[in-house]
Structure 1
Amino acid sequence: MAMESDPRSEKVRQWALMKAQSDTMTTRMNKLRDDIMADIVLHGDKDETGSSSLRLSVPVVVGNKTYEELKREARISTTLNEERALALAKAKGIENDVVAHVPTIDMDALYAAHADGRVSEEEIDSLFDTKVSYAFKPKAT
């Protein structure tokens, strides 16, 4: 005897199938990308920015796009190394001039103030914001 179709289960089946296909496709796409990037490093022309490019001998047309050249683009980001900056400030004697002291709440001291009766439970509770978010988490066995 055939089971009746359940629309919700059918949607979950379709979702799970698409998720599996998407995962497989993403893994394959990333492997192809990594192989192509290695090829660009080996055979491409490097420019003054550190980027490398490689022309395709045969252009690739997919849909309304034509791919004729590949690029491995160098992207540079600059961040301050706090440890070295603090060491330099100390060594130069300018620590008081360049270090910002930002006030922060010492949670242990705040709870101690509550324990001493200087801050009420309601006041403590009012200091915390609560945010609820939801995630789609199907259980698979």
Structure 2
Amino acid sequence: MSRIRAAFWDPSGARYSIPTYPWQMAPPHLLTLRQLAARGLRPAGQGVQAQILWRSRRYRAPGGVRAAYLYDVRFALPKRTPSPAQLAALDKANTARRTCPTCLRDAGYVLPRHLGTCLDCAEERAA
């Protein structure tokens, strides 16, 4: 194991207060939120069970160290399905975000907040 990976190896949680693993070395039953979502699961109220730490020069994380939090798949539950009323409310809200207040047509995309109108109306106003 390299020195960098050894610095983040703490399965007992003595150093980082929760079990910590280097990149790609976590047990298979611990998954990130995205991995749970890909399987159609949700954490179901459980707290963070462990974390993965790795060094990154790409992002301006404190100390150049990034973290991914892990949840136990054994305690996860299936995702909730929205009710028809919730789906209708979401559809109505998304339609409002796509409707231009100037020309009153559905732009087909979410309007930029800094413009407040569709791109065509903003272009006409700028010209």
TM over 0.5: no
- Give the TM-score normalised by structure 2: 0.21
Q: Which one has the bigger helix percentage?
A: 1
- Give the TM-score normalised by structure 1: 0.20
Higher relative contact order (CA 8 A, sep 6+): 2
